[in-house]
């Protein structure tokens, strides 16, 4: 059995490796629990006490037939959403010239993007700058974890296509 470290995973989650092995999760103490709180090991192969959290059927969704599409301003892309019991998953297509501060800010009505993102870049390149000035560029094959408080833009003349598992519930929602 493999071991994983988890901070943002619900304690009743069943986690499996890519090869189908159950994972043992070690929960780090939350800020509320304090730095002296013990680490907690949990064998995720055992079913949770609450049987409602156990997946009961396979699900197939396709981003080419999304349940919702949210266009960005000036036709500079869109967010296609499929909904799961655990929340929405998005495929964002950012066209060349797209910039959050120009094409989503008018929709969000915030100074910077306040959505956290955990995503995977399928194609193209996206630059992200945090409100504090830290900057990073993401390209094909990159996993990105970006906290709230940032701007972003497409780098180059190829559309950037990202899958996003966090922060899409209200992203570009009118």
Q: Give the domains, in start order, of the chain with CATH numbers.
A: 1-56 (no CATH), 68-164 (2.60.120.10)
pLDDT of 5 = 45
pLDDT at res. 56: 74
- Given a cut of 70, the residues of the chain with pLDDT beneath it are 1-55
DSSP letters for 38-94: PPEEEETTSPPSSGGGS--S-----TTS-SEEEEPGGG-EEEEEEEETTEEEEEEEE
pLDDT at 64: 97
**pLDDT 10s digits, 120-149:** 999 999 999 999 999 999 999 999 999 999
Task: Please give the Cα distance from 40 to 4 (Å, whole number).
Answer: 11
């Amino acid at each position: 059995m493999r071991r994983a470290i988890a901070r943002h995973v619900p304690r009743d989650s069943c986690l499996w490796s890519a090869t189908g092995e159950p994972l043992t999760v070690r929960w780090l103490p939350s800020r509320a629990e304090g730095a002296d709180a013990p680490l907690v090991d949990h064998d995720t192969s055992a079913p949770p006490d609450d049987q409602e959290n156990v997946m009961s059927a396979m699900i197939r969704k396709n981003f080419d037939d999304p349940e919702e599409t949210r266009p960005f301003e000036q036709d500079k892309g869109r967010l296609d959403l499929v909904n799961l019991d655990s929340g929405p998953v998005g495929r964002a297509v950012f066209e060349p010239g797209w910039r959050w501060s120009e094409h989503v800010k008018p929709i969000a009505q915030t100074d910077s993007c306040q959505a956290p993102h955990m995503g995977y870049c399928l194609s193209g390149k996206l630059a992200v700058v945090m409100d504090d000035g830290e900057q990073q560029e993401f390209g094909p094959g990159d996993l990105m974890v970006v906290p709230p408080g940032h701007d972003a833009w497409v780098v180059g003349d190829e559309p950037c296509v990202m899958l996003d598992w966090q922060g899409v519930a209200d992203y570009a929602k009118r």
